[in-house]
Amino acid sequence: FDPKVIEQYQLEYPNSTVTDIIYKYLESAILSSKIEPGQRLNAANIAEMLDVSVTPVRAAIKQLASVGLLSENENGKNYCAFNISEKMLTEVFDARRMLEGSAAYICAHRHADAGMREEMDELRRLAEIHRTLWQNFYDGDTSLFNRRQRVDIDRAFHNLLVHFTDNQYLINYYDNLDKLATHALVRALEFWENEKERANMRV
């Protein structure tokens, strides 16, 4: 936990409360697995490390629990980072397949009817970067930078695909799913990087 990151968030979101800032910070750490699944969060310790009052930390932790990113024990005093289950992973990717498939269908019609040359060029560019990153991984680049780039490019491609539909209802549904989908992707990449059979990985 780095107090300098809190300062950066405050500059980026000047109208947000301290609780909102800490929420964003912890949410990002959970979804990126910097806070590992099952890891217990102690509000007092976090407040001390971030050099803030414990009250907004507790409030942020309760908010994270309310949206399912933290699990609460029976007495409600301890919270742990959630670990995405096989069922949740399956449901997230099912939802993505439905929404992204619809987005691709809409974009294809828009491209045929009105032309989306610039949008299509950007999607192709991101797809090629993604392919190159995976090839580099297959060739032995298991760096943290490569993993983060694969996550970021994957997110950028699919977010653009959905936003290019210009359908606000579809965009809203997808934005709600995006955070969980990102966490699922991070966890999947961690799993894949432990896969010893490179031929399986390439497939």
Q: With pLDDT > 70 as the criterion, what percentage of the chain qualifies? A: 87
Higher-confidence position of 33 and 170: 170
Q: Which of 94, 92, 57 is nearest to 186 (CA)?
A: 92
Highest mean pLDDT among 87-91, 185-189, 192-196: 87-91
Count of CB atoms situated within 10 Å of the CB of 132: 12
Per-residue pLDDT tens for 11-69?
888 888 989 999 888 988 887 778 888 888 989 999 999 889 999 999 999 988 887 77
φ, ψ dihedrals at 186, nearest 5°: -60, -45
Higher-confidence position of 23 and 189: 23
**8 A C-beta contact, residue 82 and residue 30:** yes
Q: Which two tokens stand for residue 40?
A: 């217990």
Per-residue pLDDT tens for 68-85?
778 877 566 688 887 767
Buried b (16+ CB within 10 A) or exposed e, 20-44: bbbbbbbbebbbebebeeeeebebe
State the Cα–Cα distance between residues 156 and 123, nearest whole angstrom: 9
The neighbouring-strand residues paired with 197 are none
Cα–Cα distances (Å) from 198 to 134, 139, 144, 185, in that order, read 12, 9, 18, 19
State the Cα–Cα distance between residues 162 and 174, nearest whole angstrom: 7
